[in-house]
A and B are shown apart, each in its own frame.
Chain A
Amino acid sequence: AQSVAQPEDQVNVAEGNPLTVKCTYSVSGNPYLFWYVQYPNRGLQFLLKYITGDNLVKGSYGFEAEFNKSQTSFHLKKPSALVSDSALYFCAVSGSQGNLIFGKGTKLSVKP
């Protein structure tokens, strides 16, 4: 069965510092991986995806993610965090017919 794991419930970062939100995956075959962000009382917003190709994927709002096949990881990164980046972040893997399988989420808190 396909799954993703987000080992951290919360990540705290100071504004201007780099941030990393971790995700590991377990799939049979090639992984199709996604990151979404959720602000309070809102739906999920698509940030980026990995299908194939370059291991460094660039997405919206300055976010990027690094795919590492040997470590089965797909960590989300940003060089300089903003207070407005504070939100809930979800890693997901695509099932065989397109359904998304989500991790439990990581709360990112960026302090001024």
Chain B
Amino acid sequence: AQSVTQLGSHVSVSEGALVLLRCNYSSSVPPYLFWYVQYPNQGLQLLLKYTSAATLVKGINGFEAEFKKSETSFHLTKPSAHMSDAAEYFCAVSTLNQGGKLIFGQGTELSVKP
């Protein structure tokens, strides 16, 4: 079985500061990993995904994440936060032959202070 743990249910940063949202996974088989963002009263939008190619994955809106097998981590970063980045972020895992079913972490709410 797979699982995802997101460290920190709330993260607050100042505008222009580094954003770091932590995600650790557990999987007995090679995982596929995803970061989704949810803006208030909207559905989820894919930011980026790791599918066993390059370990450093670049996504939309300046976000990137690095797959580290030895640490079972897939942390999301952005060098400089913008006010529009305020949202809830979800890390998710799936595996081959699971039909694409996503197992989500509990989410991290990002606040950006002016």
Check if A and B associate.
Answer: no
